Every structure is written in C-alpha cells, then in structure tokens.
Amino acid sequence: MAYVYDDTNIFARILRGEIPNKTVYETDHTLAFADIAPKAPTHVLVIPKGPYVTYDHFCAEASADEIVDFSRAVAHVVKLVGAEAHSGGKGFRAITNAGENGVQEVPHFHLHILAGRNIGPMILTHD
C-alpha cells in the first residue's frame, strides 16, 4: 500500500509558514526547529521539506540530494547544540516514530534530537 501524505498536518503547515517555529537550522531540503513541548533541555525536531510520512517512506522515495541534505543537517544540528559525543559534548538520542505501534503523533517524518541530560534507558518494559 502506498503512503498517503496529509498536507494538513502541523509540520506541513509549519513548512508553508502558516504556523511559526523557532528555527534552529534550515537548508533547501530540511528544517530543524525547537520542539514546543521539550522532553530534554535540548529537544530539536528535524524534518524533510518533502511530503514523507515515516522514515522508511523517506528512505524509499526521497531523492539522493534530500537524503544527504537531511543527514548532514542532523549532523550540523548536533554540532550547533553542543551534543557531539566526540568533541566534548555528552551525546544525544535520535528518535523517530512510525505508525500506530511507533506512537507517531504527526504524520510527517521527523527526527527528535534530545540532549542536555541522560535520557535513560531506550525501552523501559516489554510484554
């Protein structure tokens, strides 16, 4: 089944300039901005500007330029927020959620970058 992108989602509206954001970094293909409900001292969302629903959708259908730009933007944001593990920062966690079981809240692929404190275990429990 093909992915169906809902262009009324909040990130699409941010990309169209209908909703303001606190931009951290922007390129031709990527936007990074502060999360409005941060879960860590540093919480940045990185989104592609293209209409991709989930990470696997992005990986399967984005152009090589979009994929490279997104990946380099993530690296740049991590450096901007001082979270590079190799240069004195204490590291970060990158999270993306997909679909119902992944508890995805916005149907636009986005990567959370969380830093500034120990984030804790990756998964607390399982059935």
Show which residues are catalytic: 110
Most distant CA pair in the chain: distance in Å? 45
In degrees, rounded to 5, the angle at the alpha carbon of residue 105 between the alpha carbons of residues 126 and 37 is 95
Assess contact for 41 and 115: CB atoms under 8 A.
Answer: yes
- Tokens standing for 90? 């204490």
Nearest to 106 by CA among 54, 29, 39: 54
